[in-house]
C-alpha cells in the first residue's frame, strides 16, 4: 500500500496503545497549509482540516519554555507536520506501528491529528508537543544529524528526559513497580510500561539530584565524546559529568525509592507511550 521510506534517523516517536486501522485505498491529499509560527518553526496543517494543527500554536510557548528551562535551545529549524489520516502519517514517516501518534527526527516532527489520540485533552496536547520538540532539541544539540546518530542515546535517557521535561509523570507506572528490576538501564525490560517507567524515574532522579540542566550537560559531554570518536560516548559523559555509570545510577535510583511504597493497581494511563 505504502512504500516504506528509510529516511528515519532513529526511532523516537511513540504514542498510545490503541489500534489503528489504515484505509485500504490511499486518497490523494491536497497540499498542506504551511504557516510560520517562529522564524525557525514552521507548521504544516492538513488542507482538509487545518484546525487539526491548532494545538501546535496553542501550546508552542509552553513547550519551548519547558525546553529552555532544562537548558536546551529551541529546535532550529523544525517543521511540525500534522496529518489528518493514518495513510498520510505513514507516508510521511515510514512508521507503521499501530500505536504510533508522533515521530521526531532531526529537524522535523510528524503528528497524527489529536482526534486519533486516546487522550486528546489540552494537557496531553501540551505534553506531546513538548515531548517531541524536546527530542528534536536534543538531536540538534549534537550539531549534525550524523553526530546525533553516533551518540547512540539509550532509551532511558532519550525517552526518560522527554517524559520528565514534558511533565508526564502521571502517565508512568510508579517507581515501586520497577524498583525490583536489576540493571534496568543497561538491560531495559521488554514490557514498555516498565521500560518507560524506569526511564522516567531515572531521569526525574537526575533532575532532583543534579539540577534542571543535567540533561543539557550530559548531552554536551556526549557530543564531545562523539566528536572525539569515543566508542562509548554516553559512558564517558556519565563518568565525566556525574561520576557514575548506568549500572550505578540505577542502583542509586532504586536505593532512594521509598522502601514501603505500595504498588498501585496498573492504570490504563500507564499504557500510554510517547
* Binding site residues, Zn ion, CB under 5 A: 159, 162
In angstroms, give the least distance from the CB of 12 to Zn ion: 5
In angstroms, give the least distance from the CB of 195 to Zn ion: 12
* CB-based contact 66:240 (threshold 8 Å): no
Give the strand pairing for 41-45 and 78-83: parallel
In angstroms, give the least distance from the CB of 274 to Zn ion: 6
> Quick one: cell of 39?
522564524
Nearer to Zn ion, 56 or 162 (CB): 162
The backbone torsions φ and ψ at residue 95, rounded to the nearest 5 degrees and listed phi first, read: -95, 125
Nearer to Zn ion, 45 or 162 (CB): 162
* CB-based contact 258:176 (threshold 8 Å): yes
Give the strand pairing for 102-105 and 108-112: antiparallel
In angstroms, give the least distance from the CB of 131 to Zn ion: 5
Distances (CA, A) of 260 to 183, 198, 208, 252, 263: 21, 18, 21, 17, 9
Distances (CA, A) of 124 to 16, 113, 178: 11, 12, 24
In angstroms, give the least distance from the CB of 258 to Zn ion: 27
DSSP state of 167: T
Amino acid at each position: 500500500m505504502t512504500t516504506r521510506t528509510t529516511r528515519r534517523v532513529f526511532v523516537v516517536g511513540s504514542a498510545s496503545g490503541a489500534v489503528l486501522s489504515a484505509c485500504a485505498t490511499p486518497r490523494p491529499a491536497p497540499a498542506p497549509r504551511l504557516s510560520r509560527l517562529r522564524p525557525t518553526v514552521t507548521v504544516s496543517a492538513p488542507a482538509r482540516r487545518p484546525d487539526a494543527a491548532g494545538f501546535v500554536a496553542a501550546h508552542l510557548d509552553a513547550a519551548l519554555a519547558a525546553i529552555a528551562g532544562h537548558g536546551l535551545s529551541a529546535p532550529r529549524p523544525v517543521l511540525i507536520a500534522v496529518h489528518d489520516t493514518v495513510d498520510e502519517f505513514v507516508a510521511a514517516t515510514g512508521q507503521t506501528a499501530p500505536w504510533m501518534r508522533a515521530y521526531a527526527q532531526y529537524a522535523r516532527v510528524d503528528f497524527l491529528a489529536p482526534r486519533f489520540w486516546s487522550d486528546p485533552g489540552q494537557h496531553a496536547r501540551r505534553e506531546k508537543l513538548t515531548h517531541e520538540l524536546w527530542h528534536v532539541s536534543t538531536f540538534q544539540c549534537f550539531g549534525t544529524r550524523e553526530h546525533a546518530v553516533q551518540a547512540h542515546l539509550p532509551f532511558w535517557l532519550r525517552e526518560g528526559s522527554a517524559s520528565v521535561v514534558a511533565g508526564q509523570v502521571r502517565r508512568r507506572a510508579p517507581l515501586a513497580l520497577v524498583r525490583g528490576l536489576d540493571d534496568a538501564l543497561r538491560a531495559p525490560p521488554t514490557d514498555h510500561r516498565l521500560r518507560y517507567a524506569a526511564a522516567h524515574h531515572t531521569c526525574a532522579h537526575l533532575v532532583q539530584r543534579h539540577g534542571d540542566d543535567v540533561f543539557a550537560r550530559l548531552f554536551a559531554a556526549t557530543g564531545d565524546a562523539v566528536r572525539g570518536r569515543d566508542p562509548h560516548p554516553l559512558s564517558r559523559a556519565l563518568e565525566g559529568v556525574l561520576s557514575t555509570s548506568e549500572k550505578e545510577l540505577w542502583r542509586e535510583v532504586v536505593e532512594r525509592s521509598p522502601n514501603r511504597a505500595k504498588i498501585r493497581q496498573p492504570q490504563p494511563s500507564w499504557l500510554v507511550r510517547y
